[in-house]
């Protein structure tokens, strides 16, 4: 026989919740009236959001138009065309630069394989994921919209809901995957500086930099082991 009190014990659980802390926040999707709270949950460093095209600290673009990102994209949503740099007024260091760059966000699945593939850390991810469009043209981000502004910050489109800090953690997934499984490369810098942020610190990881990675001076034994 069921204990009649068992019926009531269930209600006690739900009743108690009235006095517990709320787990949900006040979120109004950027449409809050003056003064009303409108908070978003902080996003983790590795979060895959809308992409940005980075620039070097001197303002040069990082993209070299190699199309690796377009090649790896499983959703086939990147379109890149490279062109030769004008020697007198180069867009990027080196010979080539990304002349056309488009990402179709109606297709993108935010797997961030493009971020892992890019050899120059040109394409990385911001923490923005709230962007909805009312027409297809807005959904196709062109280079003009993706490339960071002169302060190195992502450009903010009118239909995007940016909050403070969303633009601060860019490139986290690129940094997290840079050691490519080799624990000795964890905790060391594998990337060039970014306009607006400088050289970002790596995650500490397991071993905190047992290999020096300062541009080609790594120990000989590591080199032969890897190239063998």
Cβ–Cβ under 8 Å, residues 140 and 105? yes
Cβ proximity to ligand SF4: between 117 and 222 the closer is 117
How many CB atoms neighbour CB 177 within 10 A?
15
CB of residue 84 vs other proteins: minimum separation in angstroms? 20
- C-beta closer to other proteins: residue 142 or 198: 198
Closest CB to other proteins among residues 25, 142: 25
Structure-block tokens of residue 111: 């797997």
For residue 7, the partner it binds in ligand SF4, other proteins, none, with Cβ less than 5 to 8 A by kind, is other proteins
Look at residue 10 and give the partner it binds from ligand SF4, other proteins, none, a contact being a CB closer than 5 to 8 Å depending on partner kind: other proteins
**Rounded distance, CA 107 to CA 141, Å?**
12
Spatial distance between the Cα atoms of 40 and 32, rounded to a whole number of angstroms:
12
Task: By CB under 8 A, name the binding residues for other proteins.
Answer: 2-3, 6-7, 9-10, 12-14, 17, 23, 43-48, 68, 71-72, 74-75, 109-113, 116-117, 119, 121, 125, 172-174, 176-183, 185-186, 188-191, 203-207, 213, 215-216, 218, 223, 226-227
Spatial distance between the Cα atoms of 44 and 36, rounded to a whole number of angstroms: 25
CA distances from 211 to 39, 70, 120, 208 (A): 42, 31, 21, 9
CA distance 206 to 67: 33
Let me know the angle formed at the C-alpha of 60 by 116 and 108, rounded to the nearest 5 degrees: 35
In this complex, which beta carbon is closest to ligand SF4, that of residue 139 or of residue 187?
139
103 contacts which partner out of ligand SF4, other proteins, none, CB within 5 to 8 A by kind? ligand SF4
Q: Name which of 39 and 142 has its Cβ closer to other proteins.
A: 39
């Amino acid at each position: 026989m069921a204990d009649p009190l068992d019926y009531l014990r269930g209600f006690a659980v739900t009743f108690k919740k009235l006095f517990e802390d709320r787990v949900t926040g006040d979120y109004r999707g950027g449409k809050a009236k003056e003064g009303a709270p409108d908070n978003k949950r902080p996003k983790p460093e590795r979060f895959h959001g809308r992409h940005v095209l980075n620039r070097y600290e001197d303002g040069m673009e990082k993209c070299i138009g190699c199309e690796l990102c377009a090649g790896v994209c499983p959703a086939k949503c990147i379109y890149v065309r490279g062109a030769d740099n004008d020697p007198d007024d180069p867009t990027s260091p080196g010979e080539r630069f990304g002349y056309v760059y488009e990402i179709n966000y109606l297709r993108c699945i935010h797997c961030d394989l493009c971020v892992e593939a890019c050899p120059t850390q040109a394409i990385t991810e911001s923490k923005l994921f709230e962007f909805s469009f009312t027409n297809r043209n807005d959904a196709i981000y062109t280079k003009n919209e993706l490339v960071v502004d002169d302060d190195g910050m992502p450009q903010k489109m009118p239909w995007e809901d940016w909050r403070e800090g969303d633009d601060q953690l860019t490139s986290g997934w690129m940094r997290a995957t840079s050691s490519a499984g080799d624990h000795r490369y964890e905790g060391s810098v594998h990337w060039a500086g970014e306009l607006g942020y400088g050289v970002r610190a790596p995650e500490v990881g397991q071993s905190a930099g047992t290999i020096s990675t300062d541009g080609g001076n790594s120990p000989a034994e590591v080199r032969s082991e890897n190239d063998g």
